[in-house]
Amino acid sequence: MNISKVLESVPVVPLVQADDPAVAIDVSRALAAGGLTVAEVVFRTDRALDCLRAVADDVPEMIAGAGTVLSAEQAQQAIDHGAKFVVSPGLDDGVVRTCQDAGVPVYPGTYTPSDIQHAFNLGLDVVKFFPASIAGGIPALKAVAGVFRTMRFMPTGGVSAANLAEFLAVPSVLACGGSWLTPADAVAAGDFQKITALAEEAIAIARSARGEK
């Protein structure tokens, strides 16, 4: 599966954070109902692996990946639990190689030109840009894109509905990630209609930013 091709048409990657597989399923279904079909199940809870497996198995309309993957061991666990892609907050050779050996797309976090150059020399052509707002935001993305002409970016961290269009208007940006689509209060309240509405809003913003109807 070419995740990058999917992200060209659905250029927003929400985060699914849950400690209960049933909640992860409900959140993922709500996102998919709003048009977002690629999501990171983040490794920030004790039962994250169970949540990833549940989404991978029970939400076929969602392409489930693993986020906040910190080590090669975690990357392998993610792949074993059904992850279709892996995202890391930083750039780790072991994580990248584990995913490459398994044929699973990996999007490591980069912050500096040195990070991006290292990723390039590991054979990657898409990287996460994190935390985007602190790392210089849109001006920084435009600056590094001029140097790394074949690299595409997934800015995450500080992206919201308010600035999503600006980020997606940068030609080198493949997609944006963010937690604003799955607010903790809505998840805790079981307000999955709100999550669907936020997903629909993000899709509308993305289509407008990309000149689609």
Dump pLDDT digits (tens) for 144-187.
999 999 999 999 999 999 999 999 999 999 999 999 999 999 99
* Per-residue pLDDT tens over the stretch 11-54: 999 999 999 999 999 999 999 999 999 999 999 999 999 999 99
* pLDDT score for 91: 98
Band the pLDDT of 210: cuts 50, 70, 90.
confident
* pLDDT score for 2: 85
* Per-residue pLDDT tens over the stretch 96-145: 999 999 999 999 999 999 999 999 999 999 999 999 999 999 999 999 99
In the chain the first and final C-alpha atoms are separated, in Å, by 26
Catalytic residue (one of 5, 61, 73, 128) = 128
Instruction: Give CA 183 to chain center in angstroms.
Output: 16
Catalytic residue (one of 40, 194, 200, 212) = 40
Quote the mean pLDDT of the chain.
Answer: 96
- Helix axis angle, 192-209 to 21-33, nearest 10°: 40
- Is 128 tagged catalytic? yes
- Residue 213 clears pLDDT 70, i.e. is over it: no
Domain topology for 3-202: TIM Barrel (3.20.20)
> E strands within the chain?
12-16, 38-42, 63-67, 86-87, 106-107, 109-110, 126-129, 152-155, 176-178
* pLDDT score for 170: 96
* pLDDT score for 140: 96
* pLDDT score for 181: 97
- Residue 65 clears pLDDT 90, i.e. is over it: yes
Question: Rounded to whole angstroms, how far apart are CA atoms 44 and 174?
Answer: 25
